[in-house]
Structure 1
Amino acid sequence: MPPGQTAPLKQVRIPRYESLEDERSFRKLHQAAALRWLSSKGYNNEGAGGHMTVRDPILTDHFWINPHGRSFAYIKPDDLCLVNPEGVVVGGNMHAINPAGFVIHSHVHQARPDVISAVHCHSVPSKAFAAFGKELDMINQDACRFYKSHGLYKEFGGSALDPQEGINIANALGQHKAVILRGHGLLTVSKTPDGAAFLFGALDRVRRYGPSVKW
């Protein structure tokens, strides 16, 4: 390449797959990697409460979820559990899953057929911000990623074991890419597991900026 010239940027796209089985393997691999990344950022430090799901490309009303009680830091694709619409583990790792995680994610996936992946974690700072029950301030360009694209669930319904709580959270999310759950934490969604994890980290960072600029 001649001096002074730069190579054109190549847009990264979701790959094309030879089969649905290949797509399933790809999604699970990236889900496991995303869970490990979330752990590296400290989003799994609040015990076993966090969860991430990825819609199965073959059984599209099923999703893969991390097993209950296992740290995100050690998750491998073979550790993931395939769950049916009734909350029964039917494939993959036959380990128990977080029942509240099923309630939340099942209603999100049902309400949003476009959503491939969802992330919900309980970082301490995020829970502190969510306690105020307010939307994000558009204080910088990073926050603008969520401009008119994040919901707010103001009525904390306690532990999400009641199906109505899952419905309420899905309704608060609406067509947005994220929702702030008052007294609870954050939830983000995307068309890829990578995207859902990235948006969770981005939302958490924006949330951290607020106290720093109000002086």
Structure 2
Amino acid sequence: MSTKLKASYNPPVFSSFEEQRRHLKQKLAASFRLFSRFGFDEGVAGHITARDPELKDHFWVNPFGVHFSQISASDLILCNHDGMVVEGKYPVNRAAFAIHSQVHAARPDVIAAAHSHSVYGKSWSALGRLLDPITQDACAFYQDHSLYDDFTGVVLEIEEGKRIGKALGNNKACILRNHGLLTVGKSVDEAAWWFITMERSCQAQLLAEAAGKPVLIDAENARATYETVGVSYAGWFQFQPLWNRIVNEQPDLLD
């Protein structure tokens, strides 16, 4: 991103934890509405979490059993890293706690993490492979995603979450074999965008490989492209048009 562009579009700055928390919860609710719009929901599976700006060992998450399309900011629940709901009237998804508590614990730089059972993400994950740099968009993950090469059933135990956190490492994303995608970011915007574009990159590679043998982008150009489309600011910025669209269409999500 150019210096001029960064100067024109910057992430917001807040004067209080309360203001920052309200904004974070609204971005989280918007992400769920968008995930529903894109078809990333499947039953009660899937979750996006955001670390509380004041209580660093607590995270906000979607209420268990509420459809993504119906989630508003006020529906979100606050969970501590012992798995207890400390604010909100709904229970927490046990798998959400097992995975996200350990990702947040392993990555203090991460504000948000996203996971769902999206069709192309889980299809690609069944191959047990990393994505190749075959498109400009896929270069956002060039040398910046990993593979959790195991599947032991529904993730309900902390130890499994720890293994996923270790497999993620310092990357922005991890492919969970036979399961789906996990993305993280320094903002809700970033984590949600990485998931959206990674899902589409999985779709693109599946389609390309079904048609023939994709031509890979060479390492030098893949790295140069990554420095434009794969950095943290780019992830935040790419989410903004989607945020504007969903808030305009469904303003009740802000409540």
TM-score range, shorter chain: over 0.9
How far residue 137 of structure 1 moved from its aligned partner, in angstroms, is 1.1
In 1: Cα distance, 2:152 partner to 2:9 partner: 40
1:11 deviation in Å? 3.6
Q: Which residue of 1 aligns with 2:85?
A: 89
- Aligned residue in 2 for 1:129: 124
Measured against aligned partners, the alpha-carbon deviations of 1:68-92 in whole angstroms (never above 9, x if no partner) come to 111111111110000011100001x
CA contact (8 A) 2:132 2:142 kept: no
- In 2, Cα distance between the equivalents of 1:95 and 1:187? 24
SS at match of 2:182: strand
Give the distance between the partners of 1:13 and 1:170, measured in 2 at CA.
29
Which string of whole-angstrom CA distances, capped at 9 and with x for unpartnered residues, describes residues 133-173 of structure 1? Answer: 11001111111110110010001121111111101110111
Paired positions, count: 206
Paired position in structure 2 for 1:5? none
RMSD, aligned α-carbons: 1.0
Read off the aligned partner of 1:202 and give its amino acid letter.
T
Q: TM-score, normalised by structure 2?
A: 0.79
Percent identity over paired residues: 47
TM-score, length-scaled by structure 1: 0.93
Question: CA deviation digits over 1:81-106, x for unaligned, max 9?
Answer: 00011100001x22111001100000
Deviation at 1:125, TM superposition (A): 2.2
**Structure 2 gaps, min length 5:** 213-255
> Paired residue for 1:21?
18
Query: 1:172 and 2:167 equivalent?
Result: yes
Partner of 1:146: 141
Map 1:1-215 to 2 at 5 A.
9=5, 10-44=7-41, 46-91=42-87, 93-214=88-209, 215=212
Give ranges in structure 1 of 5+ residues lacking alignment. 1-7
Q: C-alpha distance in 2, partners of 1:96/1:179? A: 26
Counterparts of 2:91 and 2:177, CA distance in 1: 27
* Between structures 1 and 2, the one with greater helix share: 2
2: CA distance, partners of 1:128 / 1:61:
33
What SS does structure 1 have at the residue aligned with 2:48? Answer: strand
What CA distance in whole angstroms lies between the structure 2 residues aligned with 1:16 and 1:213? 42
User: What letter is aligned with 1:17?
Assistant: F
Structure with the larger RCO, 1 or 2 (CA within 8 Å, 6+ apart): 2
